[in-house]
């Protein structure tokens, strides 16, 4: 059957999700079409699963998500936006109210993690770009291909995100918690100011930026909350002068005397715990982290890891977590290859063939949601298989100098002396995922099956995805 154009595919999807009148908003990410539906019961899941260009469907975060793969998702989303007559991302009032109620019913911890994710996600492009430039400059310098002024220029560019990272985190934190971005940046500036070295607290001079990202997050969050409180009680005629002055004075003093020392202790504690676990725990910690990472992703708890990674990069210049966690995706790749070899379902083979290349590049959603999860046991064997790679890179102390990449592209962020060990770890995760999946009994999808396997339903229940 010929592939449908983005417009035709969009029209077909609309038919199977209850029609135009059932769609309240449309958005997309790298691989998924994200729809907010007025009534999920109107969705014809069987029809969607049978569409050759649909790699899988999942309900998550109040959205009905159709996995289409890189490039296709954005094109289809734009076509659906035109068909519906509103911009991609627009939500009607009824749905907005429903989503507001869902947010109120979310646990405070998950809401806090979502806030953290929203703060750091905008910084990822800078981490990737700077990391690639800095890593490349180090590699070229070690090979004696560049030196002197050229190396120093590339080093300055590669380190740019860290130079003003506290300020950017402060601004995004304030924005996320409903405060003024400029006040957030100013509060972060207090904690980063060189003048802190002239201030003596408890007989010791403060060290600029020593409180790390943790201090910035705490101070700017408190600043945003205080600002919102003050704006409710300060008369509007003097609000512009009084509110920012009080926020900066109160939070500034609190940051110097309380938040900065607290941040120093917490940052040192986090770095020490992570590095000690990996250094002392060796292969056990590496295996545990890689094997449990994808279940964490599915529950949203992985959002807590990003601030830890950023803190490690800021304090030590190396992130020992990123390569270990990347092995989780490699295990899925190995499992995907095993399923491709064993399955008799032609549609499943086509899904795997299109999902494997992007899976190797670090985009694991098509493999996870379109292949291993619907089959049930292969998702578990993929996670267990990844532990082989996670254990190896943990033992070899493989670290990255940036975040935002995974899979084979992460090589660009691995120090040159550790690249070979990262590649070996990836191959071990491929092999582990392949062998465990190939030699484990799982029910294949029969030709024409809709993909609704019991294993997927059980996993959904266990991971509280419904």
376, 370 Cβ separation under 8 angstroms: no
Min mean pLDDT across 58-72, 394-408, 433-447 is at 58-72
Is residue 220 flagged as an active site residue? no
Report residue 1's pLDDT band, with 50, 70 and 90 as the boundaries: low
Question: Which structure tokens are listed for 271?
Answer: 């770095």
CA 89 – CA 270 distance, rounded (Å): 37
Report residue 400's pLDDT band, with 50, 70 and 90 as the boundaries: very high
The pLDDT assigned to 61 comes to 63
Tens digit of each residue's pLDDT (9 = 90 or more) over 207-233: 998 888 999 999 999 999 999 999 999
399 — phi, psi (to 5°)? -130, 170
CA 64 – CA 60 distance, rounded (Å): 7
Among 29, 130, 220, 383, the active-site one is 29
Superfamily of domain 6-105: Glucose permease domain IIB (3.30.1360.60)
The pLDDT assigned to 96 comes to 41
Tens digit of each residue's pLDDT (9 = 90 or more) over 335-372: 999 999 999 988 889 889 988 998 998 888 788 888 89
Residue ranges of domains in the chain: 6-105, 117-275, 318-462
Tens digit of each residue's pLDDT (9 = 90 or more) over 369-384: 888 988 889 999 999 9
The pLDDT assigned to 403 comes to 87
The pLDDT assigned to 447 comes to 58
- Mean pLDDT of the region 277-286: 87
Q: Is the pLDDT of residue 454 over 50?
A: no
CA 35 – CA 145 distance, rounded (Å): 50
What is the overall mean pLDDT for the chain?
Answer: 86
Tens digit of each residue's pLDDT (9 = 90 or more) over 130-142: 888 988 898 888 8
- pTM confidence score: 0.69
Q: Is the pLDDT of residue 34 over 50?
A: yes
């Amino acid at each position: 059957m010929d592939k449908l154009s983005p417009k035709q595919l969009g029209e077909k999807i609309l038919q199977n999700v209850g029609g135009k009148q059932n769609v309240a908003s449309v958005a997309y990410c790298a691989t998924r079409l994200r729809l907010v539906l007025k009534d999920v019961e109107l969705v014809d899941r069987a029809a969607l699963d049978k569409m050759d260009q649909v790699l899988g469907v999942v309900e998550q975060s109040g959205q009905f998500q159709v996995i289409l793969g890189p490039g296709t998702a954005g094109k289809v989303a734009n076509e659906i936006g035109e068909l519906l007559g509103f911009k991609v991302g627009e939500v009607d009032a009824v749905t907005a109210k429903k989503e507001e109620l869902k947010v109120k019913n979310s646990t405070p911890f998950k809401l806090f993690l979502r806030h953290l994710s929203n703060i750091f996600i905008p910084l990822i492009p800078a981490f990737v770009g700077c990391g690639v430039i800095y890593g490349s400059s180090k590699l070229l310098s070690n090979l004696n291909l560049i030196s002197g002024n050229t190396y120093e220029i590339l080093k300055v560019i590669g380190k740019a995100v860290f130079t003003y990272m506290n300020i950017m985190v402060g601004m995004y934190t304030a924005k996320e918690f409903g405060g003024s971005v400029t006040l957030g940046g100013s509060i972060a500036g207090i904690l980063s100011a060189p003048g802190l070295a002239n201030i003596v607290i408890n007989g010791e001079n403060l060290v600029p930026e020593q409180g790390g990202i943790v201090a910035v997050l705490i101070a700017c969050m408190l600043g945003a909350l205080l600002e919102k409180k003050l704006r409710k009680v300060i008369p509007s005629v003097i609000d512009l002068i009084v509110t920012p002055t009080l926020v900066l004075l109160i939070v500034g003093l609190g940051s110097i005397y309380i938040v900065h020392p607290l941040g120093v202790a917490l940052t040192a504690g986090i770095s020490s715990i992570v590095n000690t676990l990996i250094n002392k725990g060796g292969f056990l910690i590496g295996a545990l982290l890689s094997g449990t990472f994808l279940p964490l992703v599915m529950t949203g708890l992985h959002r807590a890891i990003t601030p830890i990674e950023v803190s490690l990069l800021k304090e030590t210049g190396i992130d020992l977590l990123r390569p270990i966690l990347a092995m989780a995706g490699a295990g899925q790749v190995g499992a995907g290859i095993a399923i491709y070899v064993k399955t008799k379902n032609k549609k499943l083979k086509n899904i795997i063939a299109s999902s494997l290349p992007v899976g190797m590049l670090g985009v694991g959603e098509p493999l996870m949601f379109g292949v291993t999860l619907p089959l049930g046991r292969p998702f578990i064997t993929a996670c267990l298989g990844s532990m082989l790679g996670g254990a190896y890179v943990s033992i070899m102390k493989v670290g990255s100098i940036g975040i935002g990449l995974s899979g084979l592209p992460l090589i660009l962020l691995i120090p040159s002396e550790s690249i070979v060990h990262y590649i070996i770890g990836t191959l071990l995760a491929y092999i582990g995922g392949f062998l465990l999946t190939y030699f484990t009994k799982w029910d294949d999808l029969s030709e024409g099956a809709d993909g609704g396997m019991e294993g997927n339903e059980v996993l959904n229940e266990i991971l509280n995805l419904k």
